Amino acid sequence: RAPGAMGDTGDTKWHRALLKKLRSAVAVKCRVDAGDAGSLQKSQAGKGTKRAIDDALASLKLAGLGRDAPLVAAAFEQGLKEGGVAMELAKKRGPDGGADGTTPSKKRLKREARAEAWTTSGGGGGGDEKSGFGAANRIDKTIPDPANATTIRNPLVSGHVFAACKRAVFVLHALTKENEHASTTQNDKSWRVRFHEAVETLCEKNSSEKKPSLVVAADAQLAGIGLWALAKTSRRAFDITAKDTTKDTKDTTTTTTTTSILSTSLKARALVTNLSAALSRRFISVCDSSDARGAATAAWAVASLAIAQPACMDRAVAVTLCGRAMRRLDRLSSGERKKESAVNPQDAANALWACAKLRVVVDVACAKALVGVVANGTDDPSKIDKKQQPTNPREMSAVLWSLATLHGDGLCPDAPSLGVALAKKCGDKCGAQSFSPRVLGDAAWACGKLFGALVDGSAVTHKEPFKSAVTQFARAAAASIQQGTSSFPPRNAANVLWACASVRVDAEVAEPLAMSFFATATAAGRADAERKRRGLAKQSAAAGGKGDFGKGKKGHKETNVTKTESKVQESLKTIDSSDSSDFDFAEDASDSVSFESASAKPSPSDIAVAVEAVSVLQLTSVPLDKIRSAISSALTAPKDGTPEINWRAAGRLEHGAFGALRVGMARSVVEVGAGGVTKQDAEVLKRLLRRGAAAAAEADLQRLTLEEGSGNLVTDLLVKEFGTAVVDDLSTEKKKTILCVDDTHRLLSLPLREQCGFKVTNWNRFCRRERSGSVWPASTKELFTCATVRYPSTRNAAAMVMTATASRLAPNASIYLYGARVEGIHSACFVTGGAGDRKGNEQGDTFHPAVPRDLFTDPEIVSTSRCGGFAVARCLRKETLAEETSDGKAQDVSRKKNPGSSMEAFRKTATLVLPASDSSPNGGETTTVTDWHTYPGLFAGGGLDVMTNVLLKAMPGKFGLERNHENAPFTVLDYCAGSGVLAAALQSRIPQNSVLTLCDADSVALHCARENFVVNAHHTQRTVVVPSDCFGGLSPTETFDLIVSNPPVHLGLQSEFTVLRQLLCECINRLNNGGTCWLVAQRYVPVAAMAHEENVDVACAFADDKFAAWVLRKGSSDSEEKSDTKEGTTSKKDKKDKKEQEKKEKKK
């Protein structure tokens, strides 16, 4: 500052500050010159230099005090004196002592107090009621200055480490607040650099030095904020990294560019994955000290990271953290600290949403408390205190969506009853104020799901709130669309229509919404609506509008989520795509959407839902030409790169199209005039059937995706570990043996033989084509030294196959389990038997650990695919006591000669209550079967499932009454019989001299069926059990009077229609004249389309909202008609060629 710039008072203060700086520099320089630099702090060492003294003198000279001034000389003298005193004190003071060398210093006392507080609280921080980060502060708002908060941090780390951790976490937090829409190339690059620096700072940089990462210094608050910031910024970081890498490698070849982009993207994802895992583990360890906001936000963050594409977090770790957070919220909502750490509606919505996304079991009491927070919140601002948040439509719809999803996954059985009060409140609030389209769609979908989950005997007081709420949502949606100011997203409109059909609202309620939907379902309709919207905009501008017409109402936003958060969350999609509404807390961007935007175009699934609603509710006011145009639009291949219609949408359209066009129930044969079918109807329906068959065929091509992905991963691992060693052993003519379990498609056998030199032995539970299956691996002379196991669909099935595999393994043999993440391969590594493990369900069934710990060591994940979708777990066979067998060889006690005796541990006994036919007089009587055996891995657990229940009710009460069977018995085939539930139900509906044939590809299912029908004699007719892959195990000439089936349409979690297609294709040839075939499938399976492709006449006999029963009848000359049809097709082609030839001759 220039001399005289301030008054006398200012000059005096300025001189005093500069002299103090000089005195301090002289004192430190004195200590450095005397050799006492070791006792200085790091921050003091920089002051003891000649340059620091010269800088202080120069500043004093500018302020009017030269070097010879008395005050400057006095400062020099005082500095030298202070340096000497400080050196004397440093010599007396110990490492942690006070000035006298024995009394503890203030720093030490402070550290000990912090350690004591840490021990008392259980570790962590950020959730204490004394903290400045209580429940009243929302984590997605600007967080207050952390320096003003009183937190309990780890006493094992220094304050410098804690401060560095805090700085890096809040750098990530600051990055979430930057506007993504205003980004430029330069800003993006700077943003990416800061993001990577913050992540690398928090992660361990140099593993060789074994330095702990800064994450260990984080308390609960910092760990939660770090996870939240990662969830918000990871997607943008990946996008910017890929874009910058593409620009940097634009001059290279295509292969090099792709490899570089992939490598850089994988490195960036690895950084985020490592940091998210470290923060999650840290939060789990300090979760008990977090507040409600911290626990709920951490659960939301890990769920967002785990379901992102690509996944940025191990799902098993995310599930663990989510469970701990829910327990913490349960204690906070019901404990003594309820007033200080109250759970607000946003916390409840975040926590339940995370549980729904990660499929975490929710305690009923905890779910009830969290739903009550949202349902019982007040809307009156005058009654809201500082720590209470007002109710929010966005949060109400999120909780409803979560309850519906949790109930659908079987994770919260009481969800329908819990959602009654919330649905009532949401419906009432919808009538009083406007909801955004997103809220309307999600809330309506959830209410429809919860309404359908209520049993028929549920009280009207439970059902009426859901129906009333859906009615309000439908009216609000129709009113919003009729304004014409902007496009109402078709997906949200379709969800509301679906809910209307589920709760069966009155036709006049749903008709306005349905007519508006179909008016804009085609390109021509959207163009007309856009012209009207622009006309209204001009009228508004001419009338003195402010130019914001069509941009939505102000105050329309229901949440305080920022636009940056919206973009991030819109990109976090679930791995398992479904037709349900997928709530993800994204900002509803529909307020400014025009009818020309891509989001205004309905997807094929949206059109299928709307057409189904018209069919179910019988909305006759919707024009038929609009419906036909919408169906044609759904079947047309899009030019903008969006996906074509899939098999699910095609299957739903099968039932909806026939009903909406009022031509009867779905069927595979469509003829003009039959059932009121017009020429236009026939064209649309036939096109629909052809496209549905093509979509099913496309799904069949992808049925081995999970098999191939997991198989390639375990093959690469075995080649890496054993390839060279085994090949070297070939010279000794002794190959290592390996047992491949359930390698049904032989994806491992050939690579292991050729690349590793293994002697491969296969054991498959399922038979395939000419290869047979067995319930237990065959005994061999020598035990195997290695085994691979395809991870089964259930934990009990995994325990049984692992036990069977153990009986053929040598001690210390390695066993590799491989599978997909969505199949639960990571759950194989969970340690069972703890206090929190499930021991049984409501039926009393016991749960076995996936890997029996008495036979194997604890498994661990040894390999994970780059995408994170597949993994391999390894464990070792334990050494057990041995006994001498009859051939003199040592054998483990656990190894049984009889496979049946080993399987007894997994056998369960149940009682079946089989329904009667709906066509039986007076409703018929149910049939009870006792002592029914089941085994793990069977469809529906080997019991009566809902689909079989639907088929039994749809079929006639009696079969075989039309002719005398004294000479030829009535023959029945249960195709894909499983444990034989259908066959057991048919015994009272067929003649006494009938012959029941049960076929299945699952050897365990057939073993179970033999016990039920041969050993326990649950029948009066003669029974034959045949192992068969489709019809392959039966005689080529064997025919039947009745075929019944509940065929599988999935291979694990992948869709597969080969078994159903084979049934439709060969059914006619396997039926006697006058015979029938009954089958059941989900409503969305395109059965009629596949039958149409195979030229088979099949019709729907019964259909509800979920399932459909189909019947195929063979007349006395159907075989001849089928062959004639094929010949007729050829003759038509000949006629066409003949006509073309005649035209050419005429031209000549």
760 contact partners, CB below 8 Å, separation of at least 6:
738, 740, 748, 749, 752, 753
Q: What is the mean pLDDT of the chain?
A: 78
Beta carbons of 1107 and 673 less than 8 angstroms apart: no
Beta carbons of 223 and 286 less than 8 angstroms apart: yes
Local structure of residue 698 (DSSP, 8 states): H
Model confidence pLDDT, tens digit, residues 78-135: 888 888 888 887 776 655 444 444 555 666 666 666 555 554 444 443 333 333 323 3
- With cut-offs at 50, 70 and 90, classify the pLDDT of residue 1115: confident
What pTM does this model have? Answer: 0.78
- With cut-offs at 50, 70 and 90, classify the pLDDT of residue 486: low
Kindly list the distances between the CA atom of residue 853 and the CA atoms of 108, 274, 785, in Å, as whole numbers in the listed order.
48, 29, 19
Assign 909 to helix, strand or coil: strand
Residue 767's Cα: distance from chain center in Å? 32
C-alpha–C-alpha distance, residues 796 and 936, integer Å:
6
* pLDDT for 718: 92
Highest mean pLDDT among 40-49, 247-256, 366-375: 366-375
Asked whether the predicted pLDDT for residue 554 surpasses 90, the reply is no
The whole-number average pLDDT for the span 869-877 is: 91
- With cut-offs at 50, 70 and 90, classify the pLDDT of residue 51: confident
Low-confidence winner among 500-509, 691-700, 871-880 (lowest mean pLDDT): 871-880
Beta carbons of 50 and 56 less than 8 angstroms apart: no
| DSSP symbols for 52-109 | HHHHHHHHHHHTT--TTSHHHHHHHHHHHHHHHHHHHHHHH--SSB-TTSSSBPHHHH
Assign 651 to helix, strand or coil: helix
Local structure of residue 877 (DSSP, 8 states): B
The whole-number average pLDDT for the span 1056-1082 is: 94
Beta carbons of 1060 and 1085 less than 8 angstroms apart: yes
**Percent of the chain whose pLDDT exceeds 70:** 74
Nearest to 407 by CA among 418, 396, 392, 422: 418
**CA-CA-CA-CA torsion for 33, 36, 39, 42, nearest 10 degrees?**
20
Model confidence pLDDT, tens digit, residues 991-1031: 988 999 999 999 999 999 999 987 766 566 789 999 999 99
CA angle 721, 726, 727 (to 5 degrees): 115
Highest mean pLDDT among 701-705, 938-942, 1083-1087: 1083-1087
Local structure of residue 856 (DSSP, 8 states): B
Low-confidence winner among 142-151, 494-503, 652-661, 880-889 (lowest mean pLDDT): 142-151
CA quadruple 558, 563, 569, 570: dihedral positive or negative? Answer: positive
In the block, residue with structure tokens 């700072």: 201
**Helical H runs in 995-1116?**
1003-1010, 1058-1070, 1087-1093
Asked whether the predicted pLDDT for residue 558 surpasses 50, the reply is no
Bridge partners, 1045 (sequence order): 975, 1079
Kindly list the distances between the CA atom of residue 646 and the CA atoms of 606, 700, 822, in Å, as whole numbers in the listed order.
12, 12, 21
C-alpha–C-alpha distance, residues 762 and 748, integer Å:
10
Asked whether the predicted pLDDT for residue 741 surpasses 80, the reply is yes
Low-confidence winner among 451-455, 515-519, 803-807, 970-974 (lowest mean pLDDT): 451-455
**CA-CA-CA-CA torsion for 661, 663, 664, 670, nearest 10 degrees?**
-110
Q: What is the CA radius of gyration of the chain?
A: 36
User: Encoding tokens for residue 476?
Assistant: 């609000």
Nearest to 1046 by CA among 960, 911, 944, 957: 944
1107 contact partners, CB below 8 Å, separation of at least 6:
946, 947, 950, 1080, 1081, 1082, 1083
| DSSP symbols for 999-1030 | EESBHHHHHHHHIIIIIS---SSEEEEEE-ST
* pLDDT for 973: 97
HSE-up of 676 (CA within 13 Å, CB side)?
8
975 contact partners, CB below 8 Å, separation of at least 6:
999, 1043, 1044, 1045, 1047, 1063, 1079
C-alpha–C-alpha distance, residues 745 and 218, integer Å:
49
HSE-up of 95 (CA within 13 Å, CB side)?
0
- Between the two ends of the chain, the Cα-to-Cα distance in Å is 107
Low-confidence winner among 172-186, 265-279, 639-653 (lowest mean pLDDT): 172-186
Q: Is 1087 exposed, middle or buried (0-12, 13-18, 19+ CB in 10 A)?
A: buried
* pLDDT for 390: 65
Residue 396's Cα: distance from chain center in Å? 21
Model confidence pLDDT, tens digit, residues 747-765: 998 888 888 888 999 999 9
Asked whether the predicted pLDDT for residue 519 surpasses 80, the reply is yes
Burial 525-551 (b: 16+ CB within 10 A, else e): bbeebbeebeeebeebeeeeeeeebbe
User: Encoding tokens for residue 847?
Assistant: 């749960």
C-alpha–C-alpha distance, residues 1080 and 749, integer Å:
36
C-alpha–C-alpha distance, residues 60 and 47, integer Å:
17
* pLDDT for 126: 36
C-alpha–C-alpha distance, residues 1088 and 690, integer Å:
10
Return the H-helix or E-strand segment holding 14. helix 8-33
Model confidence pLDDT, tens digit, residues 567-626: 323 333 322 333 444 445 444 444 445 777 777 889 999 999 999 999 999 999 999 999
Low-confidence winner among 335-339, 664-668, 1134-1138 (lowest mean pLDDT): 335-339
**Percent of the chain whose pLDDT exceeds 90:** 39
User: Between 1063 and 528, where is the model more confident?
Assistant: 1063
Complete edge-to-edge strand list for the sheet that includes strand 995-1000: 1022-1027, 995-1000, 971-975, 1040-1045, 1071-1082, 1107-1113, 1099-1103
In the block, residue with structure tokens 């019982």: 376
User: Encoding tokens for residue 16?
Assistant: 């005093």
- The two counts, helices (H) then strands (E), for the chain are 36, 19
C-alpha–C-alpha distance, residues 565 and 442, integer Å:
19
Low-confidence winner among 468-477, 761-770, 1011-1020 (lowest mean pLDDT): 1011-1020
CA quadruple 629, 635, 641, 643: dihedral positive or negative? Answer: positive
Highest mean pLDDT among 270-284, 398-412, 655-669: 655-669
- With cut-offs at 50, 70 and 90, classify the pLDDT of residue 1045: very high
C-alpha–C-alpha distance, residues 762 and 817, integer Å:
15
* pLDDT for 235: 84
Model confidence pLDDT, tens digit, residues 531-552: 888 887 777 777 765 444 333 3
